[in-house]
Structure 1
């Protein structure tokens, strides 16, 4: 069916459509903001050896903060960075501003100093464990509550990073690779994702999905098919099928583990690649001030770089989790996992290949004599 059966699922599908339209528009505004206004990540990091011509070219653009009518404390377009361009749409355009609003409302960064970012990270592990327990329930309404809890976990994951940056007076998204907060956040994220996978696995073990032969009377099946079904699976007669008899069989738990394992492998590979390219792009474009600033700014502003980062906004691990949450809410968990458990690897291979090629192009442009990216 094109539409999920329940009214709640239909409303969620409509909400998803609205979110997609909103994110496409925000991507458009983000690209225009990068093209037409100053990029503050290049203003305070340059040393005195920069070429004067490069400096003048960078400084000719207007300041975005002076023209936007939305406060830069909550506006996700104000301070574009490498990581900001690679964060998934939901976190960047919805949970990010929402984190800022919550922070401003309760003054979490300014006055509630007893609550540290690491404490928020540990708390969302607790939320994930509760959600994982609810995911094992056969009642769809309870599993939908679990989805809500996992979305709260992802919001808290965004909130802890926001609080950490505010207290360090860092503008925009950045990865502080190797810091204590970096490792605590990563470990807590891992526990949350593992909890979700375990909850889904236990649910599918206790409520196995079914497969079978529709519209074919059992008497007409070849003997080897009958033997395989009767020896390994339960057979159910479905009288609702008008064109014949439907014999459905339960998917084995071994198959469930295989599919979940393949999907989890995609999550691991996606996470490793995503973090690698954030680190590489940051080093090339943001951190290495000895490289020509004009070439770095040109690379950052290029449509090809925006496309390269957009690709990882779509295939990063957070996007996988949002899609999985949507599938659970619509009671399509098994269908989603089965449809992506192989196909997702092809997408990742393509994304990694394109990223490696583009990194070489950036290096050639920035370090070489080429004038075109």
Structure 2
């Protein structure tokens, strides 16, 4: 963004955006041809949506999970690497229905392919799932150095490091299931490995938020145009109208770092620091904004994990009577249940984490946080309330069935 501050004889600091003219479709087509990354991103989004559409029909047709095949029997006297076919939708437990789409369709299949092709646990049996968790904790700390850098290229390297850390977070689950000869895709609450995974996720999220905060402190983002106009108007009125400025945005798509300030010689008291304070967000505003974003991030993680556990107990637990099995499947195939699953897929902490990483990669983290703060809070609180009411209703339905039987 190129901002030209000029002294005008009239007007109280109006801000006028100047856009390039041209048909939207023509400009979009030119952008896709000029930047292939945009095309790849669009194809990736289409892939995720097509897989989510397929997931809907898979949930509708899913039967009762076969717990007898959850364990893999190996020949202990002559162990050998065993290859398995990767099935994205088979089996389909509750956790896989509620997990982030990128993890479901990209990272987890890659981690399973890594294990099945290279036989990682066979050739390196001494590397446990907890050891992998410790290592991606180390990567979280290393990524802070890059994510907080003022260089966009170094921040993009930090995003790649953090993405590799997320891949290792998926790999430790694959390694755990391979070592324990267990195919079930679920969280084993209360185990030592579960707490190690929780602590590593908390550390990773903390490192990401602190890195963004440090970067914003180094390069404070611009205030909104309306806020800057109000500040300029008040400062002009205090000067008696002798020093008026006009902010003209010449190109909204240019880098914000190219800022040209042409101050008037008749106002020697206006130092560059004062002008920057008028144009840039204060550190207090940045800190409060990041704190609110962190609270939303934490609540999304807590309620997602809590609700996954609740739905696993209600809809994926082993039951004895045919009536309970039929009721479980009926409630699982309910459109409301599937809607709640899809909401959590896009509102869980891992999804928010990926949204923020993508914004950092394209150098728009502040815009992402500011533009989505209201709608994201509304969706998250609404989803939490809807889920709580739904799980309470499911518990009452099962309680009524048990009382009648």
| CA deviation profile, 1:39-80 (whole Å, cap 9, x unmatched) | 4346679xxxxxxxxxxxxxxxxxxxxxxxxx9642211110
- 1:254-265 correspondence to structure 2 within 5 Å: 254-265=284-295
Match of 1:337 in 2: 369
- 1:211-290 correspondence to structure 2 within 5 Å: 211=223, 221-223=233-235, 241=250, 249-287=279-317, 289-290=319-320
Shift of 1:116: 0.5
1:97 aligns with 2:119: no
Shift of 1:297: 2.2
- SS of residue in 1 equivalent to 2:121: coil
CA distance 1:9–1:88, shift in 2 (3 Å)? farther
CA contact (8 A) 2:232 2:245 kept: no
CA contact (8 A) 1:76 1:97 kept: yes
Report the RMSD for the aligned CA atoms in angstroms.
Answer: 3.4
1:133 aligns with 2:145: yes
CA contact (8 A) 2:152 2:363 kept: yes
| CA deviation profile, 1:290-337 (whole Å, cap 9, x unmatched) | 561121122223332222111110100000011001111111111111
Match of 1:18 in 2: 43
Name the stretch that deviates more: 290-299 or 159-168.
290-299
Match of 1:313 in 2: 345
Which of 32, 49, 53 is residue 57 of structure 2 equivalent to?
A: 32
Shift of 1:347: 1.4
Which of 149, 153, 157 is residue 161 of structure 2 equivalent to?
A: 149
Shift of 1:25: 1.6
CA contact (8 A) 1:138 1:207 kept: yes
Name the stretch that deviates more: 186-195 or 14-23.
14-23
Where structure 2 has 5 or more consecutive residues not aligned to the other structure, the ranges are 1-18, 71-82, 252-260, 263-274
1:355 aligns with 2:387: yes
CA contact (8 A) 1:327 1:336 kept: yes
Shift of 1:21: 1.4
Match of 2:359 in 1: 327
Shift of 1:341: 3.3
- SS of residue in 1 equivalent to 2:223: strand
User: Scaled by the length of structure 2, what TM-score is found?
Assistant: 0.74
Which has the greater radius of gyration? 2
Once residues 146 and 232 of structure 2 are traced to their aligned partners in structure 1, the CA distance between those partners, rounded to angstroms, is 43
CA distance 1:9–1:123, shift in 2 (3 Å)? farther
Shift of 1:156: 0.7
User: Scaled by the length of structure 1, what TM-score is found?
Assistant: 0.79
Shift of 1:145: 1.0
Q: How many residues are matched?
A: 334
Shift of 1:226: 5.6
Using CA pairs under 8 Å that are at least 6 residues apart, name the structure with larger relative contact order, 1 or 2.
2
Once residues 195 and 104 of structure 1 are traced to their aligned partners in structure 2, the CA distance between those partners, rounded to angstroms, is 32
